[in-house]
Structure 1
Amino acid sequence: MSDQQANKEILPPPGSAVWCQTQTEVVQLKFEWTFQQFAFLKSFENWGDYYSAEFFHEQTPESKWTLHLIDQGSNMKVNLERPYPNHQLDGSVRVTIAMSNKKREKILPQKHSLPRYTQLPFCVYQIEKKVLVESECFVNGKLTIDCEIESFIPKRPVILSGKPSTVADFHEKRFNNTAQLIAQLEGLYETMKFSDITINVHGQILHQFKAHKNILAARSPFFAAMFEHPTKENLTNQIEVEDVEPAVFNEILRFIYTGKVSESTMGKMSVGILAVADKYLLEQLKSECETQLIHRMSAENCLELLLNTHEHHPAFYLRKYAVEFFRQFSGEVMATDEWEKAEQGHPELCLTILKELVKSLVKINFEC
């Protein structure tokens, strides 16, 4: 069946005064599970058994899921489970499991369609350890499993009576306009038609950006507070930005309008975007930057992250992970050109990092 046919409105049988329309809603749930323990494992030794945290979709909080990674000698498998044993599915689901490589691409995917009443636990992924080890799945010793669950939930039947199908309960009909809305906002971002404020970004050279107050305020609590009061910026329709590079601010503005940032941009500008996202209270973007930086962490960029995140930095987990990475791979980090340059230009910062490493080692020994 084509998309056009699937989306076409269902018409009542000829001569029917009362008819019923039943539809199914697809709820998509995405979950990411990262293992840090594999940094010290040999290729095919016992990997152990692990359970993920429980996860669920906000639309169906009663349907909680968990993943169970099981070592099988030369193989590894992943079961889909419920928090309670011997459970049967109360609806059909489609499950896709894949591994994430260093480019955040999903590789080695496996898909399963589980009909209603399928008995859980159910194996949704099985692979030879040799294939995993030889692939690009292990990033700095970490393995990340991507899980996507599509649940098919029947909607309550709608009974229509005495009205043509084209007008019956039209005010209750929901339209999926997400793609169209994003495309229109992208067009508005490109043209900035009817813009009502100018943002002057003072990087190495001055760059001016046009924008719309209502969109900035709707997406950022920072701008909402600015435009809610008779501030200088609100009265003059001019915003001065002194501490952000134009290229970074351009990506921030793109995200505000479209909710998107390209993978290549995140790879090049994550540190700068993270700082500006925190300033403008863009929590979703800040969280995505942290996740990207954690997955892309290496001996070459670990020092940069340590230097750009102090002890009380809002990206707490990024800082914590960078310290842990440095603890595990301090030799590799200190052998880079970046460390040598930092020793010459910022010796006090290098000393602070080494002190923090010693503190973490003392804490680990104390807990043991």
Structure 2
Amino acid sequence: MLASGFTEFKLDYAGTKSLAIGDLIHSDEISSGGHIWRILCYPHGDRKADNGVYLSLSRPFFDAFLIGRDGAPSPSPSHARRCVKVYGPNKAWGFPQFVERADLESTYIMDGRITFMCGAIVLCDDPISVPCSDIGDHLGRLLDGADGSDVSFTVGSEKFRAHRAVLAARSPVFKAQLLGSMAEAKMRCISLHGITPATFQILLRFMYTDALPRDEELEGSSPIELFQHLLAAADMYQLDRLKF
């Protein structure tokens, strides 16, 4: 989970002239992701190798830019930096050569101050709450309502309406029968033999919802006998998941 915060950081530029390389000034506190942050500014840089030419900024940024004398963000791409890396609360990221001090003096000082806008982003430990999958509920309602059904099955004295695409996606046997070159591919109603209506009803609902009925939902049937028939049907239609 990501959280972000922004702050305006005003630097008293005249007060930085006596500072040495590596000396820092920090911003006010920023609250982001349950943590308190400060922007660290090194007016003469944080690396001796740069000889105090640059002003450096440090801490977990994803955006930082200068505000011009007109109050607008700097149009210069060299005076605005963006970092697409995201770090946890104990990591730091920054720009050791954010801007040359000479550019600050010529362009950005207003009333003795320089203004930065900085954004911090935090990767939080709290997991994102994701709703449970409801595809089985939706497909189950599709089966119950028979909306858009394009095939039906006669099993004994009962008729079941279904959808070719769903059955073909779940069973290679149904795919060959309903979408291939077999005669059933052109039939609107198909008669099935060697399977009972109760078994086919459970088989059909499993293909839509990936779920089996609970024992108390089996009306007047012996669970052991019914599931024996169901196992045979799963083998017939190559529904390997149903076997387990």
When normalised by structure 2's length, the TM-score is 0.47
Q: Quick check: which has more Rg, 1 or 2? A: 2
* Greater RCO, CA 8 A, separation 6+: 2
- Select the structure that is richer in helix: 1
What is the TM-score when the length of structure 1 is the normalising length?
A: 0.32
